[in-house]
Chain A
């Protein structure tokens, strides 16, 4: 079921000083987290429906809840995928997108098909310790994305295989020679 009320309700409860400053018993802290997670779960359905309605495309979308600890099953496994960036602010923003990956080279293209510079960084030992068994990414892909005011933009990510890397290098060498 899609609704935002469950999250609103959980957020309202979390305005209490116990939730802000941590003056609650541990089982209460766990309950705050549970309520927020249940609320966000229903909101995800809402966001998916909104995306389908605005774009006219009905396909499954995926939310990575553990991006904060560099874990995401989809990006770790898929060699091609799309990143939708929704901006809730009433002005254009640029944002460093960090996605957990297992490859070493990627092509990222913006909504107009233009290639976007990107960087692959190693996932730190700290992060691996934090996420435990939630993911297995060894790298993180970082690129700068822009999203319009109160709207979204889409970026495509493709993993470069060894073949395509060699092809690119060969093309570059040929150009240099010319």
Chain B
């Protein structure tokens, strides 16, 4: 009945007791408290329509609707364990059951799966993505700096490469996500952002690859995708001090070597 919480000395994350989904993140050091929801959705891939015969494919992202479909309203949270070392909440059967198994593809719908974070932050159509982990670029929805944009693809036309991070902010708070690989991302609505996790398509987009984007190539073989998003909530001024070093640590992470013999005595750098 009570809401579930994971807490360490820096953060407290609350999970809704009814849905099992993240409902709030609190930065305990800074006294920042942000209601947040995260959920998985999928865009139904276009196979061409009256406007254009263009299908969604490897080069072209073209959903058939502005609104992605919710995969599951509840997360069936079934395990919460934590101690001083580690805390983990396992969300049971959230997306594998319904979407990513793909076995047989009986529904014949291409699926483009996203993780979307929603917050009450006033972001004024602005969000930020990185340029190969270095410069951070400001992105504005339905806007190009050097010409007057006539937006014909309200979702795809606002997607940008996210090589390592994406964030939104208002005057005080910033919500940042580090990704574990290059993904696409956008902020389709104010206060929210999303990352494209996986694409499984059934049609070629006729842009050169000459294959539908469907790993591992056989429609009858499912695929499980495992990845990591690292989320930071902090003040705008302090956020770069968090995500910059953490990104280095993730992307140049320690290498683990194992041995059954005697312990290596070397410790100095």
Contacts and interface: CB of A to CB of B under 8 A. Distances in A.
Contact of B255 (A24, A86, A119): A86
Interface in B225-248: 226, 245, 248
B257 A62 contact: yes
Interface string A19-62: 01111111001000000000000000001100100111101111
Contacts of B211: 25-26
Contacts of B269: 148-151
Given A130-B224, A148-B267, A95 B258 contact: no
Contact of B260 (A74, A126, A145): A74
A88 B258 contact: no
B254 interface: yes
A62 B256 CA distance: 9
B224 A142 contact: no
A148 B268 contact: yes
Given A21-B182, A23-B209, A55 B261 contact: no
Given A47-B255, A51-B257, A129-B96, A84 B264 contact: yes
Q: What does DSSP make chain A's interface, helix, strand, loop or mixed?
A: mixed
A121 B226 contact: no
B264 A87 contact: no
Interface stretch (B47-55, B85-93, B114-122, B165-173): B85-93
B217 interface: yes
A97 B88 CA distance: 14
Contacts of A93: 249, 254
Nearest to A144: B85
Given A127-B226, A143-B85, A153-B267, A57 B254 contact: no
A124 B90 contact: yes
Contacts of B199: 22
A144 B85 CA distance: 7
Contacts of A51: 257, 264
Contacts of B209: 23-25
A102 interface: no
Contacts of A154: 263-267
B259 A60 contact: yes
B256 A97 contact: yes
A84 B90 contact: no
B257 A84 contact: yes
Contacts of A81: 258-260
A132 to B, nearest CB: 10
**A48, A55, A145: most-surrounded residue (chain B CB, <10 A):** A55
A69 interface: yes
A25 B213 contact: no
A141 to B, nearest CB: 10
B18 interface: no
Contacts of B226: 68-69, 126-127, 130
16 contacts: A22-B199, A24-B58, A25-B210, A25-B211, A51-B257, A61-B258, A63-B258, A81-B260, A82-B262, A82-B263, A83-B256, A89-B249, A111-B263, A127-B226, A142-B85, A154-B265
Interface of A: 20-26, 29, 47-48, 51, 54-57, 59-64, 67-69, 72, 74-75, 78, 80-89, 91, 93, 95-97, 111, 117-119, 121-122, 124, 126-127, 129-130, 142-145, 147-154, 156
Interface of B: 58-59, 79, 81, 83-86, 88, 90, 96, 161, 182, 199, 207-211, 213, 215-217, 224, 226, 245, 248-249, 252-269
